[in-house]
A = this chain, B = another copy of it.
Amino acid sequence: MENQSPRLPEAMAVLVGHVGTARSIGVTGSPGVGKSTLVAALVGAYRDRGARVGVLAVDPSSPFTGGAVLGDRVRMQEHATDPGVFIRSMASRGHLGGLSWATPQALRVLDAAGFDVVVIETVGVGQSEVEVAGLADTTVVALAPGLGDGIQAAKAGVLEIADVFVVNKADRDGANQVVRDVTAMLRSAPTVPAPDSPGWTPPVLRTVAQTGDGVPALVDALDAHADWLTTSGRLVERRRQQARAEVEALAQADFVRAALSALTEEGVDALAEDVAAGRLDPYTAAARMLSACRDAQSV
């Protein structure tokens, strides 16, 4: 799938009818909040209940994808040898929105393969935090004391995407302040509960993922959110939105491929060169791509 095999559409067609049972949980937050340790703790908690757990790490700073604090690696290692756990790091880069099309498809594969819970870990700054909210049934925003930026990032937009807030490293100085800040933000936000989430106010929990403190309460909150999604009918709506984002991303990639094949690489480069040189405006160039793609079909 990650190699974008030409037989991928065929594989996805085979999975039709075998998806829709896995729960997806997004975990996002700035580097340094301990997301990976938190994910490892969640994996352990769900394994204790007998669930099969998939982990998709789309965080470039994640130990799963690259450099790591040794402790985290060791911590995850125990899960790496557990046949009930599948861990995969996904490249978050690449053309045509890598995250937006590859992650939902990886989720679909794990879902069809019988995983009960799939945890998607992304770094929560900027665009990607919005994307993870579009991928997962439930989005956990992780914060930690001592990273002034946590709150700033929070202000910038996580209020709109968090179903559950976790203040991790809650045994450190400043944890209470982070909890107070987030709680105050939630109280004063005009959009909480969010217009599309009547009846759900994100809880603000404390964890020390390294020791497991607070993790059972987090699992309870995730269960409560899953129940709310089902009973409120929001699950159907969220999954439709997820699918729509995925289909649009795939259609856009198809479109660019079709336009490239109609115009040729050289033709597209020539358009780009005209724009760069100030001979053509980008909208006219874009319109030519669209009409080339359409004409190719009509011929």
| Chain A count of residues within 8 A CB distance of the other chain | 90
A149 at the interface (CB under 8 A from B): yes
Report the separation of the CA atoms of residues A17 and B277 in the bound assembly, to the nearest whole angstrom. 8
* Chain B residues positioned under 8 Å from A284 (CB to CB): 9, 13
This protein's copies in its complex: 2
* Chain B residues positioned under 8 Å from A113 (CB to CB): none
* Chain B residues positioned under 8 Å from A106 (CB to CB): none
Picked from B67, B69, B251, the residue with its CB within 8 Å of the CB of A256 is B251
Report the separation of the CA atoms of residues A280 and B243 in the bound assembly, to the nearest whole angstrom. 10
Question: Which residues of A, 248-299, contact B by the 8 Å Cβ criterion?
Answer: 248, 250-256, 258-259, 268-269, 271-273, 275-287, 289-291, 293-294, 297-298
Q: Which residues of A contact B (CB under 8 A)?
A: 8-9, 12-13, 15-20, 30-32, 58-61, 65-69, 92-93, 97-99, 104-105, 108, 122-123, 125-128, 130, 147-149, 151-153, 155-157, 236, 239-244, 246-248, 250-256, 258-259, 268-269, 271-273, 275-287, 289-291, 293-294, 297-298
